[in-house]
Amino acid sequence: MLTFQDVSTVCPNFRGAKDEQIRFHSLLLDLSLNGEKGLFIALTSFDILKAIEQGAIAAMWPSNQPLPAAVPTLFPVFFVERVDEALLTLLKTYLQKLNKEEWEQMTNIVFTKDKLLNDWIKTYDRAIKKEIFRCITKLQQHINRKKGGDKRC
């Protein structure tokens, strides 16, 4: 399972509460789905308040995008130059952890692939996009094996 420490290693610039006990049950990429105890990834949407309503307990946020004033002060927000590159690094970190350890609980990736492909901001690098989907596919395969074929991801 992804931890606060995993994310803060990839994204050291953050504000809010530093809680080393946080475990992310999901990576929330699609706000049309719930992401209980999730890390909201502001890749195709910047509606962080809706993400909090959907279950986000922290967010990965582009540093050039203003953060809404209504975001709670203690809500952890990890600021990154490029969300796509930070997400790719985080996914690779998670894959490396999976290769080293086995867990009872896994971090789910919450998104609708077609929606993500259609909504993806066109300025993102195609090679990075392709690599992110490759990593997501690997993670889904691993999670599905652990869950006995559950297709929730």
* Per-residue confidence in pLDDT tens, the chain, 153 aa: 889 999 999 999 999 999 999 999 888 887 777 778 999 999 878 999 999 998 999 999 999 999 999 999 999 999 999 888 888 888 888 777 766 665 556 666 655 544 444 444 444 556 666 666 676 676 666 555 555 544 333
- pTM: predicted TM-score of the whole model, two decimal places: 0.74
HSE (CB half, 13 Å, CA atoms) of 145? 8
Which domains can be identified in the chain, with CATH numbers?
A: 2-147 (3.40.1390.10)
